[in-house]
Amino acid sequence: MFNNVIVRRPCRAMVEGITSNPQLGKPDYEKALLQHDSYIAALKECGVAVTVLPADERYPDSCFVEDPAVITRKCAIITNPGAASRNGEKDEILPAIRKFFTEDQIEYIKSPGTLEGGDVMMVGDHFYVGRSVRTNEEGIRQFIAILEKHGLSGSEVTLEEVLHLKTGVNYLENGNMLVSGEFVHKPEFAQYNRVEIPEEEAYAANCIWVNDTVIVPEGYPAVEKAVRSLGYKVILVDTSEFRKLDGGLSCLSLRF
């Protein structure tokens, strides 16, 4: 059960955000704001209180708040984003985290360790961590040590194709996991009820479970159908402008 969500409004500079898909074009800022409004409304419908942080023009990718922090049941971990243009976002998320956690509940990933929250997938008290271009071995080592200190556990997953772990795999609670591409056959996920997402809808493997509702990106009928058939209530949110920056639904919030 989640009670709180933190989001950050997209900034105008988002058009200069990092992307591996420049062929999709630059995001339309006004449209992104409207999509962000719908995202906040969908979250509220799931019964969570939404903290909306102001846009920060210094960081084009700062609406993707999932990356500079990871929030667990026991502690909050300020990460050390591996993307240079995003690293400073960790200092900007901290005041928001301090509103919910005391100093002894806040931990930090330190250089040379790097880690981004998009590489972390929570399954109960276990956390899968993707080793990616953004998250390195030392970052994972520190992260798992922090988890263990708080009575939680973590394990590494190697990534070959995707930007972040959750680009291709997402846990929907109740044993259900959406998997695409390289994650379909990973042995570490064999124990879950894996729902395979077709290649042409791979972007929508990034759905989020919020209190028995699953928010699904709009325009991916196979994923929508699969999630509905698992018995969840579904809310669709169009994320086309965030997709242009490799951003999905999970990247846009911290849920706890």
* Min CB(130)–ligand CIR separation in Å: 10
Q: Which stretch binds ligand CIR (CB under 6 A): 104-112, 125-133, 212-220, 239-247?
A: 239-247
Please identify which residue in the block is written with the tokens 């950050």.
8
Q: Are 205 and 227 in contact (CB under 8 A)?
A: no
Secondary structure (H, E, C), 147-199: HHHCCCEEEEEECCCCCCHHHHEEECCCCEEEECHHHCCCHHHCCCEEEECCH
d(CA 31, CA 15): 12
Supply the minimum distance, in Å, between the C-beta of residue 66 and ligand CIR.
4
Asked if 126 is an active-site residue, the reply is no
Q: CB neighbours of 46 closer than 8 A, spacing ≥ 6?
A: 2, 210, 211, 213, 215, 235
Which region among 32-40, 43-51, 64-72, 87-95 touches ligand CIR (by CB under 6 A)? Answer: 64-72
Q: Which of residues 157-216 bind ligand CIR (CB under 6 A)?
A: 164, 166-167
Using the minimum distance from each CB to ligand CIR, give the nearer residue, 104 or 160.
Answer: 160
The closest alpha carbon to 121, from 36, 220, 224, 205, belongs to 205
Active site residue 164: yes
Residue 66 makes contact with ligand CIR by CB under 6 A: yes
Distance CA 109, CA 117 (A): 11
86 binds ligand CIR (CB under 6 A): yes
Which 6-45 positions form the footprint of ligand CIR (CB under 6 A)?
Answer: 17-19
Q: Which candidate in 63, 164, 185, 207 is catalytic?
A: 164
- Kindly state the helix (H) or strand (E) to which residue 41 belongs, with its residue range: helix 29-45
- Closer CB to ligand CIR, 14 or 227, in the complex: 14
Examine residue 251 and tell whether it contacts ligand CIR (CB under 6 A): yes
Identity of the residue, 151 or 161, whose beta carbon is nearer to ligand CIR in the bound complex: 161
The residues annotated with a catalytic role in the active site are: 164, 251
